[in-house]
């Protein structure tokens, strides 16, 4: 009975694996994958491979890359490719059948990506498996580095794994299983604290040092003449990078490098058996690069174990300020990476951290070479159990048992602080600066009446604040809110809300708290008019445009009234798409130019830069053009902004009938001809409040001033004195008016 059940389970697994391959086979012509083949046999084995024949002659096999090796790119989804390989291990063809890569969907032509990857066709992988030659590499496509590397790596590693399995040429028969080996696990009983020198000395911390000469020589040996012709500047002996790595889920290493508190917080965060690496670097080359800012993925380092590999994403990353080990150097870059649990990383087996070094060789082209930093956990941290039979569930390496893997993590203490608190402590200066800026804005809003009575002072206060928001909050701190935050929040409510996810970005969290409070008091105006870096950029550029006499255009009210609902349509479209696919909705959210103009400071592919510059150019002629008609985030905030509890903006009975001055001068045309303010469109610039208190521009206040001056004139000492006093002059409508002298008053006889 047991054997029958196991047999059914095995057949079910094979059927599932074959099903994945069968799902994609119709999407490719067989001749693309195995030239000359005219029919496919039934998929065999797990993972499945399908033999390709010409009549009855076996020409090769077809398999799905993601069944054998990691193929996850920017999107977080596998890049699915069908790969053809001959019985002798020569790559014969490939076909991209499915992907969710935003860089390919928007911007980079798929044809250009495939041209780079197809250079692997014709490579004999058998010498690579034997170690006789180095693994082949694909050329980088500028703007799609990670996508191309993931595709190339998955093809090479999947072919390597397939050849090692011994299944080529024998139509799916797997080799005999490996001999029983002693199971290994991290020894949790060893958790002493050691200094830096001893950790480096015994290999607990491994490092790779590259000089400028090392890198230049590597590019020369790569055979890329364009790259070799552009060597690194400086002394050949200068340090290019000094890179260190260690597994800090190992108690001794973790307590030494992170400190007791840091290690305990990490252990509480890790799942049973999950590992975490500390990577530290110094020198002129950054191991982080900038791709993780743009797409959330670290493209310069890759974790490799056996035929599996992974690139870390921003959600796996925590920035560290320093290492706690005694004698540890001060590194400009220190990162803590949590290895995703699905990677099945075995810390007791050797692994490699591969460093990718890029070099620009043209306007849009890059060359690259790789260097490997190998790591093997010292035996002193490993305990071995008696030999046991290996699992028959999979021919791949089996990770440690659940019980053994749990021993690598220290039980969490109820007194431990969550990891997000450490992130906040590491950003205390930024948090304090942001809190001060929010406090200053609160004072501006609460004392707005006193401030707007001094228009010149208020104008410079506003411009200075917007400049601070643009330069510090936007370009420096990269704290630009986005409609993606709204979509992510809504999705988390449906799929499982977690405060820790949102608390891990302190400035973004603070801003959203401020925006939420602002919605109750003032509507969307505090963010759109004061806290949005892209909005600040638009307004400051328009101020410059007005100063240099660039003509300003006001759309007719009828047209304006029909255009501003466009941003609500855009938001509802994005929100609806996010319910179907959050990843695709995030791609469509590029309608916001925030990432291009603020986060990346225009260092991006030219279509995105042209789009952002076009919107900013429109704003030179129509103030805040994007905010008024296209911004989905403004629309998202305007909807809950209707629940505001107070009306802070004052109006006179004459506003709108007959006076239209505020409506005509409102920078974003948020005041209706009838006189009322549309809070959905108001950015709270307070220009209408300047006019409200100005007794030289507001008709109502002009009348109040004239009456006051006349009353003061009639009650002056000259009017009360006997005889003919001096003439009194007041100003009315901008012109002097002379009041007649008072007649002499004769006192009554005594």
DSSP of 460-508: HHHHHHHHHIIIIIIIIT-----HHHHHHHHHHHHH---HHHHHTSHHH
What span, in angstroms and rounded, lies between the C-alpha atoms of 284 and 266? 30
Angstrom distance (rounded) from CA 67 to CA 226: 36
* pLDDT, averaged in runs of 10, over the chain (750 residues): 37 50 84 88 84 88 84 69 90 83 52 78 84 70 63 83 76 45 76 90 91 89 82 88 93 91 88 90 86 66 80 82 90 90 84 86 72 89 64 39 35 44 77 93 90 89 94 88 82 64 77 89 88 93 93 90 91 87 77 86 84 94 92 90 77 82 86 84 86 83 85 72 52 52 43
**Which candidate, 429, 447, 367, 400, places its Cα nearest to that of 187?**
400
Q: How many angstroms separate the CA atoms of 388 and 289, rounded?
A: 44
Looking at residue 718, its pLDDT comes to 60
Closest CA to 641 of 670, 616, 615, 619: 670
Q: Residues near 644 by Cβ (< 8 Å), separated by ≥ 6?
A: 519, 520, 521, 522, 523, 679
Residue 711, C-beta contacts closer than 8 angstroms, at least 6 positions apart = none
Distance, in Å, from the CA atom of 94 to the CA atom of 102, rounded to the nearest integer, reads: 21
Q: 10 Å Cβ neighbour count for 354?
A: 17
Strand partners, 301: 355
Secondary structure of residue 180 in the 3-state scheme: coil
* Whether the Cβ atoms of residue 480 and residue 599 lie closer than 8 Å to each other: yes
pLDDT of residue 402: 34
d(CA 567, CA 637): 11
* CB 169 within 8 Å of CB 163: no
What is the spatial order of strands in the sheet that 57-64 belongs to? 39-40, 49-54, 57-64, 80-85, 91-98
Residues 564, 625 contacting (CB under 8 angstroms): no
Q: Which of 605, 591, 608, 625 is nearest to 482 (CA)?
A: 591
């Amino acid at each position: 009975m047991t054997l029958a059940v196991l047999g059914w389970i095995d057949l079910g697994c094979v059927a599932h694996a074959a099903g994945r391959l069968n799902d994609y086979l119709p999407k490719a012509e067989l001749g693309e994958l195995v030239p000359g083949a005219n029919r496919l046999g039934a998929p065999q084995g797990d993972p499945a491979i399908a033999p390709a024949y010409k009549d009855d002659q076996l020409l090769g096999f077809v398999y799905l890359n993601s069944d054998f090796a990691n193929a996850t790119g920017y999107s977080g989804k596998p890049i699915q490719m069908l790969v053809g390989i001959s019985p002798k291990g020569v790559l014969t063809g490939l076909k991209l059948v499915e992907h969710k890569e935003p860089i390919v969907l928007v911007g980079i032509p798929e044809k250009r990506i495939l041209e780079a990857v197809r250079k692997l066709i014709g490579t004999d992988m058998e010498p690579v498996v034997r170690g006789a030659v180095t693994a082949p590499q694909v050329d980088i496509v500028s703007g799609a580095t990670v996508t191309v590397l993931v595709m190339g790596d998955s093809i090479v590693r999947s072919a390597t794994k397939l050849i090692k399995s011994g299944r080529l040429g024998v139509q799916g028969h797997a080799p005999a299983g490996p001999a029983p080996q002693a199971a290994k696990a991290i020894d949790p009983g060893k958790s002493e604290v050691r200094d830096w020198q001893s950790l480096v000395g015994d290999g607990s911390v491994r490092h790779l040092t590259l000089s400028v000469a090392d890198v230049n020589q590597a590019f020369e040996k790569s055979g890329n003449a364009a790259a070799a012709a552009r060597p690194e500047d400086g002394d050949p002996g200068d340090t290019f990078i000094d890179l260190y790595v260690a597994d800090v889920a190992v108690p001794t290493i973790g307590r030494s490098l992170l400190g007791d508190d840091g290690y305990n917080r990490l252990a509480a965060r890790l799942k049973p058996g999950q590992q975490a690496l500390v990577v530290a670097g110094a020198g002129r080359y950054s191991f982080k690069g900038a791709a993780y800012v743009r797409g959330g993925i670290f493209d310069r380092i890759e974790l490799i174990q056996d035929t599996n590999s992974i690139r870390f994403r921003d959600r796996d990353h925590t920035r560290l300020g320093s290492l706690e080990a005694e004698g540890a150097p001060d590194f400009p870059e220190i990162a803590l990476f949590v290895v995703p649990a699905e990677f099945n990383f075995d810390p007791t087996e050797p692994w490699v951290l591969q460093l990718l070094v890029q070099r620009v060789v043209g306007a849009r082209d890059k060359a690259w070479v790789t260097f490997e930093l190998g790591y093997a956990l010292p035996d002193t941290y490993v305990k071995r159990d008696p030999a046991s039979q290996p699992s028959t569930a999979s021919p791949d390496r089996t990770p440690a048992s659940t019980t053994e893997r749990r021993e690598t993590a220290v039980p969490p203490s109820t007194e431990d602080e969550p990891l997000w608190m450490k992130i906040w402590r590491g950003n205390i200066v930024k948090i304090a600066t942001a809190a001060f800026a929010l406090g200053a804005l609160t004072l501006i809003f609460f004392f707005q009446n006193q401030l707007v009575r001094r228009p010149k002072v208020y104008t410079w206060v506003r411009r200075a604040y917007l400049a601070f928001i643009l330069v510090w909050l936007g370009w420096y701190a990269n704290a630009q809110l986005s409609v993606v935050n709204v979509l992510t929040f809504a999705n988390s409510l449906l799929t499982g809300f977690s405060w820790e996810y949102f608390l891990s970005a302190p400035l973004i969290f603070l801003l959203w708290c401020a925006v939420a409070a602002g919605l109750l008091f003032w509507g969307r105006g505090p963010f759109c008019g004061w806290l949005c870096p892209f909005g600040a950029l638009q307004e400051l550029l328009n101020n410059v445009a007005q100063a240099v006499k660039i003509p300003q255009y006001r759309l007719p009210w009828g047209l304006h009234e029909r255009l501003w609902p466009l941003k609500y349509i855009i938001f509802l479209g994005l929100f609806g798409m996010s319910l179907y696919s959050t990843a695709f909705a995030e791609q469509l959210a590029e309608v916001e130019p925030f990432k291009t103009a603020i986060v990346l400071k225009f260092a991006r592919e030219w279509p995105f830069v042209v789009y952002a510059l076009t919107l900013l150019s429109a704003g030179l002629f129509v103030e805040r053009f994007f905010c008024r008609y296209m911004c989905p985030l403004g629309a998202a905030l305007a909807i809950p902004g209707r629940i505001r509890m107070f009306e802070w903006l004052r109006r006179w009975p004459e506003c709108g009938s007959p006076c239209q001055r505020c409506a005509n001068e409102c920078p974003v045309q948020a005041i209706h001809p009838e006189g009322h303010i549309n809070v959905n469109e108001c950015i709270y610039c307070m220009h209408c409040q300047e006019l409200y208190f100005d007794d030289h521009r507001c008709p109502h206040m002009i009348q109040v001033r004239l009456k006051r001056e006349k009353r003061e004139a009639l009650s002056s000492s000259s009017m009360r004195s006997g005889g003919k006093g001096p003439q009194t002059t007041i100003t009315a409508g901008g012109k002097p008016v002379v009041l007649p002298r008072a007649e002499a008053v004769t006192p009554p006889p005594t």
